Structure 1
């Protein structure tokens, strides 16, 4: 049970951390790595899968966000939305390599959906970014970097 709970907890924390919720998954990953009760590669895969799945939720939200643009409760002004769209056009899909970063990464995945980034390129680039972050964290944990 502990094994399943560890993986499930890591997946859920990584999923939540990738959404717009203010959560962190790194501490859970580090605790599980230090405990050495799970294969490290499996932990990295589970964390990456959870984080990418959360980012995909953001992408889906972005795809449908503009439908409510004219509503009073819409969280972004028209000018701000235009600026964001212009910036995404300027840097393109490769800006998704920054999706691992705190503060800007989660909104960036929403913007990618808003900008109609194809799901296949979104998943490829975001997976590379998220796996790279967790891989770097793993290497630093082991003292290899």
Structure 2
């Protein structure tokens, strides 16, 4: 019973974090790569066009994958990179709290990373790969005692 609650809370967390990143990604998508790259260049991000493509891909495609639970570790790492980049290039000078502070960005980035590696069993990753891993892990003690 407790494991199902853990899986449900991981799903709820993935949906919440994914929706927030998706909303930001759709804003960038609507602005376009050029405008997003100009904004990134303005705050000193190196390779702004490449960074804009990365952010749009992670925040739009990655968020959809994150919500349904596909490629969770990869998307979690992408969220961490995107969020920590925003902390250091945009929000750091404003401090942790207050207007423009980095507290929300930091929490979202690291929550995405944590959920990427602990996304629960209510995910396509678990459905596709988790059962195979569980079967292999269950067989390992038998192999060690042989």
Query: TM (normalized to structure 1)?
Result: 0.36
Greater gyration radius:
2
Query: TM (normalized to structure 2)?
Result: 0.36
Query: Which one has the bigger helix percentage?
Result: 2
